[in-house]
Amino acid sequence: MGGGAKATLIREDGLRHDGRRPEELRPIRMQVGVLANASGSAIVEYGKTRVLAAVYGPREPYQRFMVLPDRAILRVRYHMAPFSTSERKSPAPSRREIELSKVIREALEDVVLLSEYPRTAIDVYVEVLQADGGTRVAGVTAASLALADAGVPMKALVAGVAVGKVGGVLVLDVDELEDSHGEADMPVAAAPDIGLVTMFQLNGVLSEDELDRGLSMALTAIEKIVSIEKEALKRKFEAIGEEV
Amino acid sequence: MSITPFKMPVIPLIKKQAYLNLYEKGLREDGRRLDKPRNIEVKVGVLDKAEGSALVKLGNTQVLVGVKAEVGQPFKDTPDQGVLVVHAENVPLASPIFEPGPPDENAIELSRVVDRSLREVRAVDLESLVIRPGEKVWNLWVDIYVLDHDGNLFDASMLAVMAALETTTLKDYEELETGEILVKRDSPGAKLKINHRVVTVTTAKIGNYIIVDPNFEEEIIADYRLVLAFDENMRIVGAQKTGSGGMTLKDFKTALKISKEVAQIYFKALEQTPK
């Protein structure tokens, strides 16, 4: 990662370039049931990062050999819209998107009760509409919400957040600027209700102590994000309740 | 699109139970302790046409790495740095689960984890690869070739990549009047400048146990694997949880502790490699 802009990432007053405290999240917004066709859907915003997720299924996969006899298979695509970045991104899947599709799938596998639906597929589509850092973790949050919105049984809700290190300081929920000029970026997803970390990556250099502190910062934040998820789900059903 | 693996070989439950019974006694199928890696063999300079190369055997797993150095252009946003590209190929001759075709998500993940672990700590001195800033730099192509897959491709590949880079030479060159760079292929060249030595250590969670350096069958029955990358100062320079299972904080800490010890074994293997 480049080092040039380090000084400006943490201001003299100890706040971050956008005025946040090190342990402060960006404003988070969530809404479920935003698409008519999907079995479940959600839109999630972490600041300027905006991610849309949709779930189709459980359903019989078009390619029928793609099944397991004792459980559903999960198929996940993480994809960035061509207009989501400063420079247009080619819509063809990049190596990065292929890897992130895998880590997002693996962040969900252990919480979805896949054995309830043998010989089916559950498709999860994550589209990044606007990328400003933390798209994979916002993607996990959106995917988890869309699965819940689709009524797919799950052990717990999952949410994600990225911890970074900028100008020697551990910070929560890194944005694009902090990600590209910082010393480390550690995306974490977890299901706090069952005490499991389901996504864990580190891109950068940390001491053991920083890793420890970063991970607990992430887990505290994830608990908070999961409670926002629950609020978003409640809002939908309360709205339905009022209609009846 | 990433799909739950649905063509993996099935390990009978009774076999998994046999493994777990052994773990309970602190042993593995091949007689190892839970926290010991398999036998490591590192051989460098195994290819004549590559500027750097290494063959690593980790138990029955074999990984060949070739480094090609070619003169090319720098990236626009890093005019004062050379280019490092890591690519992994799961060659179909290496395993019944590999098929011909472009790299799948596992090969891509492997190369990206190795790439990040080198890049973030600046293991290779990319500044020293500049020939003419903004115009001509060395491009290092690091190609990981998995030859025989018996598990733990991450650690075997990282060892092979590191050993290959440490023995990579950049050939002498001449700047022609036209501005072209003429590489003298037969020259002795100079050693590539390495800033840090990096290893990855992979642990796997199986039942209630955490084991290091899983073989292929252990990878199949594992809930997840945790790959941790260290430099020689024991800073953590990369990490990846791979596989479907969730990880508790307690297991993470246990895995980190084991991994730190095993990293020393890997560093020693690199240290003792005849160059």
Please give the structure tokens belonging to residue A45: 């915003």
Q: Which residue of B has its CA nearest to A126?
A: B1
pLDDT at B106: 97
**pLDDT band with cut points at 50, 70 and 90 for residue A5:** very low
Token pair 């359903």 is found at: A59
Output the pLDDT for position A201.
98
In contact, B121 and B197? CB cutoff 8 Å: no
Average pLDDT over residues B132-149: 97
ipTM of the complex: 0.95
pLDDT in tens, B160-196: 999 999 999 999 999 999 989 999 988 999 999 999 9
pTM: predicted TM-score of the whole model, two decimal places: 0.96
Domains identified in chain A and CATH numbers: 14-243 (3.30.230.70)
Residue of B nearest to A111 (CA): B246
Residue A173 pLDDT exceeds 50: yes
Query: Which residues of chain A from 47 to 66 reach within 8 Å of chain B, CB to CB?
Result: 66
> What's the rounded Cα separation, in Å, for the pair B94 and B239?
26
* A77, A125 Cβ separation under 8 angstroms: yes
Query: Shortest CB distance from B6 goes to which of A67, A205, A215?
Result: A67
The answer to whether the CB atoms of A197 and B108 lie below 8 A apart is no
Q: What is the pLDDT of residue A197?
A: 98
Q: What is the structure's pLDDT at A1?
A: 45
The CA distance from A189 to B220, in Å, is: 23
Residue A25 has pLDDT above 80, yes or no: yes
At A187-207, the pLDDT tens digits run 999 999 999 999 999 999 999
How confident is the model over A32-53, as pLDDT tens digits? 999 999 999 999 999 999 999 9
The domains located in chain B, with CATH, are 38-197+234-247+264-271 (3.30.230.70)
Query: pLDDT for A52-75, tens place per residue?
Result: 999 999 999 988 889 999 999 999
Please count the other Cβ atoms lying within 10 Å of the Cβ belonging to residue B22: 17
Mutate to test the interface with B, among A65, A68, A95, A210 (most CBs of B within 10 A): A95
Residue of B2, B6, B224 lying closest to A102 (CB–CB): B2
pLDDT confidence of residue A237: 85
Kindly state the DSSP code that residue B232 receives in the 8-state scheme: T
Note the pLDDT of residue B119. Answer: 96
pLDDT in tens, A72-101: 999 999 999 999 999 999 999 999 999 999
pLDDT of amino acid B274: 87
